[in-house]
Amino acid sequence: MSVGVSTSAPLLTTSDTTHTTPVFSVVDYLVFALLLLLSLAIGLYHACRGWGHHTVGQLLMADRKMSCFPVALSLLATFQSAVAILGVPSEIYRFGTQYWFLGCSYFLGLLIPAHIFIPVFYRLHLTSTYEYLELRFNKAVRICGTVTFIFQMVIYMGVVLYAPSLALNAVTGFDLWLSVLTLGIVCTIYTALGGLKAVIWTDVFQTLVMFLGQVAVIIVGSAKVGGMGRVWALASQHDLISGIELNPDPFVRHTFWTLAFGGVFMMLSLYGVNQAQVQRYLSSHTEKAAVLSCYAVFPCQQIVLCISCLIGLVMFAYYQEFPLSSQQAQAAPDQFVLYFVMDLLNGLPGLPGLFVACLFSGSLSTISSAFNSLATVTMEDLIQPWFPEFSETRAIMLSRSLAIGYGLLCLGMAYISSQMGPLLQAAISIFGMVGGPLLGLFCLGIFFPCANPPGAIVGLLAGLIMAFWIGIGSLLTSMGSGTAASHLNVSSFSLPSNLTSVTVTTLMPFTTLSKPTGLQRFYSLSYLWYSAHNSTTVIVVGLIVSLLTGGMRGRTLNPQTIYPVLPRLLALLPLSCQKRLCCRSHSQDVSMDTSLFAEKMKKGMLQDSGDKWAMAEDRPGQEGISPTFVLQETSL
């Protein structure tokens, strides 16, 4: 079956067997409670260790002493949310293994951050990613980036907490608000008290729980249907094993090009510039450790993707042998995995609890990362620049208060999510809409020396407008037609009161039967091209506005904020071609700005409060780019 061009989900095998809601045993509750207690214990351990001697650097950046292994697993845990645990197997079950080709995007999606974004951010000795925007442009651009990120994460936090709890409640009868409050409170406590180090080490523990829960499902499920050979045979027999779909049409939901290259931009927005991930890179004790942690994520992600795909195939084989009940067949797509797990593990006390612990480990890791990153950017970007006289003790108290405040806000957003009805789909898709423009803003600064502050602000606004135009337009179109479009980052409701189907934000869309035309065709852009389209809009508009407003003439350019990709590409050409391509007037302008910057730096005329503008070679232990090298590179 060619998933990329399919127009409907495969028919589900059903039976008329009356379905009874599975009930958790005492052992299951104990396993689930153990997850929460151990997560809380890890956070409290790091909070109590050295109590009274903590610094803001320890709380927000783990004192920049983390090693490669925990950082890599924390990066993986943040990416592997409950949404993915529920969504990917259901995607494979319904549409086949085409989604597996997303793994091809992991290579470039991690290689580019490792060799471009991490070196630039690490050598500037940043705490907040958005400090870069002030060093490259000005304070106004930094505030615009920070506010955009806060808006993105606050909208998404409540949904990540509420939606998996609702899906679990619908399938197992697990109390909805008890799980929401318990997770929210536990996560808030260990994030606020333990800081980034507690978040990273709890992520390590939660990653292991996620892995064990998913592997247990694969082992038990494959054993019940006759082994993995039988699973593969049934999947092949029903055309569930997808080949490479080379259709270049960006309006087709899933093709090889969409997954492998459109996914690169999605990965860059997550692993390249997102504060929750970059903060982990910057907490590493050396730049090399940060790069290695990025490399280590690549095989881990491939393993996780393969495990999720295998769960989907095992689930398909299981329901070929033991058909779904009528109630289960009418359920929302994100509930399929939970129904499968409860049917499969119902007679094995403790294993259903292990999978629920696996599911909520995904939620805990994502939410704790959000709390910590939001507290960091609020402190570093919105408070400290205006109140630099804060003492260390007051700064620590304020940082913890911010984490607690965002935890309470998350619980409030979870309640609002329960009242929003169909508008919840728009709230979820905002997360995907905002990531692309922020990626474009950072790429504009890093790769284009001529980009200036007016261009950055106008470009960001243009990218956000384009993102919301496509996202909201596609949402309204699908709601008006009564079906969910194939490109949406959200899924449709199976019933008006059923909110659980929206938990799968990028994996569960249904496809329309008729080919869209006009603006509807424009709105049917595959969700995986959203980041590429919106970030390109920011870059193009930003460059045009920058050129119209004089570029960087008359402004000081910090050479460490630029990655000279064009000169490095030109250096591969023959010397004669390089001379023809050199633009002398632009070379002189950039040389003058860079030389002026270096001269002022040496005279002490440019001093930032955190000494972040000092040349890297002037800081012990930092690998830097010499002013002469930057001058030669940028002059090309």
Domain boundaries, the chain: 26-424
Q: Mean pLDDT for each consecutive 10-residue tract of the chain (636 residues)?
A: 38 50 76 87 80 72 84 83 81 87 87 91 91 92 93 82 77 80 87 86 89 91 90 88 78 82 87 89 90 90 91 91 78 80 84 86 85 89 82 84 89 78 56 86 93 94 90 71 41 30 36 56 76 91 94 86 78 73 44 44 43 39 37 33
Find tokens 């609020």 and name the residue.
378
pLDDT at 507: 37
**C-alpha span between 12 and 443 (Å, rounded):** 45
Selection from 34, 89, 28 nearest residue 348 by Cα: 28
Written as six digits, the tokens of 488 are 């949406």
CA-to-CA separations, 386 to 29, 127, 150, in angstroms, rounded: 48, 16, 18
Written as six digits, the tokens of 589 are 């302008």
pLDDT at 427: 56
Selection from 341, 361, 74 nearest residue 198 by Cα: 74
pLDDT at 518: 61
**C-alpha span between 363 and 184 (Å, rounded):** 10
**C-alpha span between 406 and 263 (Å, rounded):** 30
User: Which amino acid is residue 112, in one-letter code?
Assistant: I
DSSP string, 439-492: HHHHHHHHH-TT--HHHHHHHHHHHHHHHHHHHHHHHHHHHHHTS--TT-SS--
Phi-psi group of 64: left, alpha or beta (phi > 0 → left; psi -120 to 50 → alpha; rest → beta)? left
pLDDT at 10: 46
Written as six digits, the tokens of 57 are 């650097």
**C-alpha span between 91 and 337 (Å, rounded):** 10
Q: pLDDT, tens digit, for every residue of 555-581?
A: 888 888 998 877 777 777 777 776 666
**C-alpha span between 276 and 369 (Å, rounded):** 6
Q: What angle do CA 303, 309, 313 make, to 5 degrees?
A: 140
Measure the N-to-C terminal CA separation of the chain; round to a whole number of Å: 50
CATH fold for the domain made of 26-424: Sodium/glucose cotransporter (1.20.1730)
Selection from 126, 106, 274, 303 nearest residue 214 by Cα: 303
pLDDT at 317: 92
**C-alpha span between 506 and 193 (Å, rounded):** 33
- The sign of the torsion formed by the CA atoms of 67, 72, 74, 75 equals positive
**C-alpha span between 170 and 185 (Å, rounded):** 22
pTM: 0.80
- The sign of the torsion formed by the CA atoms of 223, 508, 495, 417 equals positive
Written as six digits, the tokens of 31 are 């396993």
pLDDT at 13: 52
pLDDT at 416: 80
Helix (H, G, I), strand (E, B) or coil at 513: coil
pLDDT at 217: 92
